[in-house]
Amino acid sequence: MNRRCISVVFLFCILQITKPETFDVIGLDEPIIVTVGDDAVLPCHVVPSTSLEDLEVRWFKLDFTTPVHLYAGKQDRPDLQDKDYRERTELFKNEFPHGNASLKLKKLKASDEGIYTCFIDFKSSYEEAVINLKIGGIGQPPWIHLEGTSSKGVRLACKSDGWYPEPSVQWLDGNQKAANAKPETTHQKDSNGLFTVLTQIDVTSDSMNRFSCLMQNNLLNKAKEARLQIPEIFFPKINVWLIVFWVFVALVIIIIILEIIFHRRKRKRIKELQLFCILEGYKNTEINYHSVNWEEEIELKPENGFWTIGWLGNNLVVNTSDSPHQSLGDVPKKIGVYLSYESQSVSFFNAHTKSHLYTFHGIKFPQKLYPILQISENTSLKICPN
């Protein structure tokens, strides 16, 4: 029994001795922010510390098979390296005995931004860590200039290149407050992945006529600004009295046009009225009938030179004392009048039905005859040609 226990203890000790040691690869949780053109160190350490001289250290970005930097077989392997990183990467080999696998990137470009993986092959296992590298570029000082005048005032333009990522753009007035107008801003990427920014705005005159263009890289929290003061002569002046004058001229023209239209309509109406004779009463009627005495009240009878018919309800009324009322049913809407000097007669017809209404005979006509029309309110009559 004791011998069996001793054997078990001996076997357990052997397993403890042969158990492979485990390692962790530590990177950095926070992103590394570096300016374009500078160098950056991407940290990577093995814990617990162990020598890396006989191990494989591989840094890659997107493709494991195309490394940013590869150390294998106790040497660097630039022949397998991504061509965009050749002669721009370096490992700290003097720190290999302490487990330091950090990578140095030189002369950073905008395209270097991204996620990097530090991969270490321990032969019996492997571990890796990721590093987030962010790149920021500060562009050249903006160039602000006056492009010309516009209907809204003066157009300003501001341009700068060398930014990454796209900067925020703001126009300020002389009091360092945001300009009221909305700018038009475009971004164009160059061959190096950097942005050229062009922004334009229409401004109006204020108390200072001073404007500034502010471009800021929010990643690096750095900005560049350009200022311009515009002479007063470039802003169009508004002459209030000139505006009042032209408004007055416009009103006069409108009044004249309205007067012309009114008088033309009035003359047209007069001409139309000359074709009609409307009697609303018999006193003070201004009509030239040469054979009629208008000084007294006019009675529409043949003895006075009037041969007329009319309607009372649906009954035909003739202005003779011996003619009774005749019931005609519907009142004609169109009356035809036939005058014959030879037969000395005046006849009235229903123009729609071509039926005879009444005829006056034995009339001694004066030299001139005129039509007489009498209507009730809210009605109208029209004389039609044959």
Residue 49 has pLDDT above 70, yes or no: yes
For the record, the structure tokens of 110 come out as 């905008």
Contacts of 183 by beta carbon, 8 Å cutoff, 6+ apart: 169, 171, 199, 200, 201
How does pLDDT run across 156-166, given as a tens digit for each residue? 999 999 999 99
User: Is pLDDT above 90 for 376?
Assistant: no
Same fold, 143-234 and 276-386: no
Residue 344 backbone zone (phi > 0: left; psi -120 to 50: alpha; other: beta): left
And the tokens for 244?
Answer: 């009042």
Handedness of CA 208, 213, 219, 220 (dihedral sign): negative
Give 339-383 as a DSSP string: EETTTTEEEEEETTTTEEEEEE-S----S-----B---TT-----
* The CA-based dihedral angle spanning residues 193, 169, 222, 138, taken in that order and rounded to the nearest 10 degrees: 30
Beta-carbon-side half-sphere exposure of residue 27 (alpha carbons within 13 Å): 20
> Is the confidence at residue 185, as pLDDT, over 60?
yes
> What does the alpha-carbon distance between residue 211 and residue 231 come to, in Å, rounded to a whole number?
12
Q: If DSSP codes are grouped into helix, strand and coil, which group holds residue 213?
A: strand
Task: Quote the CA–CA distance of 83 and 76 in Å, as a whole number.
Answer: 14
At 320-333, the pLDDT tens digits run: 766 666 666 677 87
Domain 143-234 has CATH 3.40.50.620: no
pLDDT at 288 over 60: no
pLDDT in tens, 295-323: 556 677 787 778 888 877 777 888 876 66
- Domain spanning 276-386, CATH class: mainly beta
Q: Which residues contact 44 (CB under 8 A, 6 or more apart)?
A: 25, 26, 27, 59, 100, 101, 102, 103, 118, 120, 129, 131
CATH no., domain 18-136: 2.60.40.10
Delimit the domains of the chain by residue range.
18-136, 143-234, 238-274, 276-386
Residue labelled with tokens 């038009």: 184
Residue recorded with tokens 């700290």: 92
Contacts of 298 (CB under 8 A, 6+ apart): 282, 285, 292, 304, 306
pLDDT of 6: 44
